[in-house]
Structure 1
Amino acid sequence: MSGLCDGRVVVVTGAGRGLGRAHALAFAAEGARLVVNDLGVGLDGAPGAGNPAEQVAAEIRAAGGEAVAHGGDIAVSEGAASLVATAVETYGRLDTLVNNAGFLRDRMLVNLDEDDWDAVLRVHLKGHFLPLKHAAAHWRAETKAGRTPEARIVNTSSGAGLLGSLGQGNYSAAKAGIIGLTLVAAAELRRYGVQVNAIAPAARTRMTERTFAETMAAPAVGFDAMAPENVSPLVVWLGSSASVGVTGRVFEAEGGRIAVMEGWRAGPRVDKGTRWRPGEVGEAVLKLLGEAEVPGIVYGA
């Protein structure tokens, strides 16, 4: 490996399995020291067996790297604060935060319970906000002390957050919210030496195995386009000092493909110069829609 992250201290949430595990191993392979966070819950957020965070940390140490496990709940302030504290107390610094933790409770909207809505928004959106907040507070203090960091945050959105996904109204809303949070954080934290970006990955994980059931099987030979390890090189680069100047961006990653996603911006427009009458708005809007790009199709539609 190139040693792209030699000396950097990296925190990855939800790193016990799937994408998070792949990210943690990839950072370690590039010389980073890891805090591996995972609450160890099931796919729906219910308590699970085992200690996946420690298993991944042990895997990194067995390969000659440095890693400690953190099993706290990062969707509560105390857990997020202790996550940052673990990095600083163990290694003396924090350089990169990768927000990845999440689970699913899929339902069509008419069947979606309030608890299922709250639970998914909590772990995905609040579980991004709180670690980001506590890491940012640490880096602000470092800047005020004259030690401006080369800090990085990589958030995890989804194609569901970009286009929507049938049966995943809660998940789609949370992932769209993460994009908004990323844009605000990138603007607010730039002064403290912090770059903030987001990815929208597609890979084979516990969360996606039902969604992509027909295309998830790994090939017997050749390139496995759905392997979570395919996403990690982009995350590692974004989390390294080599990505200087890249902030406030959203990237889609799947297999060997990387795309820069371009968000909402003004398309065709018309300005009457005064207030419209309801009866004349329709003609103007239909003309604008005829000139506009056709939106992407909601997943599953």
Structure 2
Amino acid sequence: MTISFEGKVAIVTGAGNGLGRSHALALAERGAKVVINDLGGARDGSGASSDAAQEVVALIESKGGEAMAHGANVAKMDQVEDMVKQTMEKWGRVDILINNAGILRDKTFAKMTIDDFQLVMDVHVMGTVNCTKAVWQIMRDQNYGRIVVTTSSSGMYGNFGQSNYGAAKMAVLGFMNTIGIEGAKNDIRINALAPTAGTRMTEDLMPKEVLDMLTPESVTAGLLTICHDDAPNRYILCAGAGGYASTRLFETDGIFLPADEQTPENIVANLAEVSDTSNQSAMETGAGQTQKFLGKAMAYMQNKNAE
């Protein structure tokens, strides 16, 4: 099977450099018309320039592709709406949204200002929400849409000095899990990419020989698998340096305690069974947990009544 994006229109945020640039070029190479969104700021979010986005557009056009640049700040809804409006005026549809734009403001929580926490949340979380909201009805009307959010191991597992970034990157997974359910009836599928790559975000954190393996292109190969026609839904793909894996949230089977035994002491006494992973399962929706616990309660009552 050859994955093609012929006839598709894609918006890639933060596409002037690094991963976003790689994503945009790869989508264009496989036939997509691409909106190169880039505010042009430094990795901490300061400054702005359209030069990087225009360079990517020129590169795509030089290879016979179609692209346009837009400098919307994804944290500003009016700017995002203008970007989508211009896209619709030019190409008449939006099939793919890659939420890639991001910034870093790394510090320990003790030293971090609330402003730095808020800014990272605004760009990563509200930037993702704004862009998704701006294309949502378009995709519903088309009965087609592919959306990617960018998560991180820092959010899923934690990373020293990144409480703001980690909180934001976990938040987009909660967003994905719900709108993936809501969009399914209109064939809107939303997945998450957890990248490891050598970009401006990481170039001063790793030795050169490692960075040489952590190419944006190795991550982009993974991205293309979660935004094409046959992509999954609500899937977390981890990619980097040629490695590809999936992260899933699992819940243990757990225990049931009758009302007169529901004490913290009894939970602690049974913690090994609470934590036993032998019968763990992935929940399809939040309601699955409620159904499981009520099922345990019902089984207890039936056994009690049968005695």
TM over 0.5: yes
Q: Which residue of 2 aligns with 1:298?
A: none
Give the CA deviation at 1:209: 2.2
**196, 200, 208: which one aligns with 1:206:** 200
Q: Which residue of 1 aligns with 2:223?
A: 235
- Opposite residue 239 of structure 2, the aligned amino acid is A
Give the CA deviation at 1:4: 0.5
Q: Which residue of 2 aligns with 1:296?
A: none
The count of aligned residue pairs is 277
Q: TM-score, normalised by structure 1?
A: 0.87
Residue by residue, what CA displacement relative to the aligned partner does 1:217-236 show, whole Å, maximum 9, x if unpaired?
Answer: 32xxxxxx300011112222
Deviates more, 1:43-52 or 1:71-80: 43-52
Q: Which residue of 1 aligns with 2:164?
A: 170
Q: Which residue of 1 aligns with 2:291?
A: none
Deviates more, 1:274-283 or 1:93-102: 274-283
In 1: Cα distance, 2:99 partner to 2:69 partner: 15
Kept after mapping to 2: 8 A contact 1:101/1:123: yes
Q: Which residue of 2 aligns with 1:190?
A: 184
- Opposite residue 254 of structure 2, the aligned amino acid is R
Matched, 1:279 2:274: no
Kept after mapping to 2: 8 A contact 1:3/1:31: no
**143, 152, 158: which one aligns with 1:148:** 143
Q: Which residue of 1 aligns with 2:152?
A: 158
In 2: Cα distance, 1:166 partner to 1:215 partner: 23
Q: Which residue of 2 aligns with 1:77?
A: 77
Q: Which residue of 2 aligns with 1:297?
A: none
Across the aligned residues of Structure 1 and Structure 2, the Cα RMSD in angstroms comes to: 1.9
Q: Whose helix proportion is higher, 1 or 2?
A: 2
3-state SS, counterpart of residue 120 of structure 1:
helix
In 2: Cα distance, 1:279 partner to 1:197 partner: 40
Q: TM-score, normalised by structure 2?
A: 0.85
Q: Which residue of 1 aligns with 2:26?
A: 26
Q: Which residue of 2 aligns with 1:299?
A: none
Bigger Rg, structure 1 or 2: 2
Kept after mapping to 1: 8 A contact 2:39/2:50: no
3-state SS, counterpart of residue 206 of structure 1:
coil
Equivalent runs, 1:47-62 vs 2, <5 Å: 47-49=47-49, 51-62=51-62
**252, 259, 268: which one aligns with 1:267:** 252
Give the CA deviation at 1:285: 2.0
Deviates more, 1:129-138 or 1:233-242: 233-242
- Opposite residue 267 of structure 1, the aligned amino acid is T
Give the CA deviation at 1:272: 1.6
Give the CA deviation at 1:237: 2.9
Kept after mapping to 1: 8 A contact 2:38/2:50: no
Gaps of 5+ in 2: 279-307
Give the CA deviation at 1:127: 0.6
Identity of aligned residues (%): 33
Gaps of 5+ in 1: 219-224, 294-301
